[in-house]
């Protein structure tokens, strides 16, 4: 899964080394917003896949300019999701049945509790 992210970074670094790169961060943010709009407006599955790829490529480019390791950032986000959803899963027996709209509401409450607990643990 990380190989395409690494390849995107390699391609971007190679292009940048030859002068084909963004000169200001404002342009990067504008391009990111443009790619999001293009994805939202994609008319079918094939176009959505293409536009999502463009968006992911742009996110890697942005991470490069921000000095953030995209692979490490994604790994950290995965770990954070796993921790928080793990907290939600601890409460599955207490939740309304699947299909009950209150189930998702309660899961969101538990998610927010997990976030709050993480913040408290960081501050200890």
Q: What is the pLDDT of residues 1-28, one digit of tens each?
A: 569 999 999 999 999 999 999 999 999 9
Residue-range definition of the domain harbouring residue 23: 2-68
Q: What does the pLDDT read at residue 57?
A: 98
Final residue of a structural domain among 68, 90, 105: 68
pTM, to two decimals? 0.86
Final residue of a structural domain among 68, 83, 102: 68
Q: How far is CA 92 from the centre of its chain?
A: 25
When computed from its CA atoms, the radius of gyration of the chain, rounded to whole angstroms, is: 19
Residues 47 and 80 both lie in one domain: no
Residues 52 and 93 both lie in one domain: no
Residues 48 and 82 both lie in one domain: no
What is the rounded average pLDDT for all residues in the chain? 96
Residues 13 and 60 both lie in one domain: yes
pLDDT at 124 over 80: no
pLDDT at 63 over 60: yes
The number of domains in the chain is 2
Q: What does the pLDDT read at residue 6?
A: 93
Residues 59 and 81 both lie in one domain: no
Residues 9 and 60 both lie in one domain: yes
């Amino acid at each position: 899964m990380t190989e395409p992210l690494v390849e995107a970074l390699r391609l971007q670094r190679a292009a940048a080394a030859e002068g084909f790169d963004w000169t200001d961060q404002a342009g990067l943010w504008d391009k990111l917003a443009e790619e999001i709009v293009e994805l939202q407006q994609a008319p079918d599955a094939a176009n959505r896949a293409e536009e999502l790829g463009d968006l992911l490529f742009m996110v890697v480019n942005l991470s490069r300019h921000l000095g953030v390791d995209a692979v490490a950032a994604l790994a950290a986000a995965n770990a954070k999701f796993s921790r928080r959803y793990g907290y939600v899963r601890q409460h599955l027996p207490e939740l309304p049945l699947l299909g009950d709209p209150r189930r998702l509401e309660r899961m969101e409450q538990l998610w927010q509790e997990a976030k709050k607990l993480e913040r408290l643990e960081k501050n200890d």
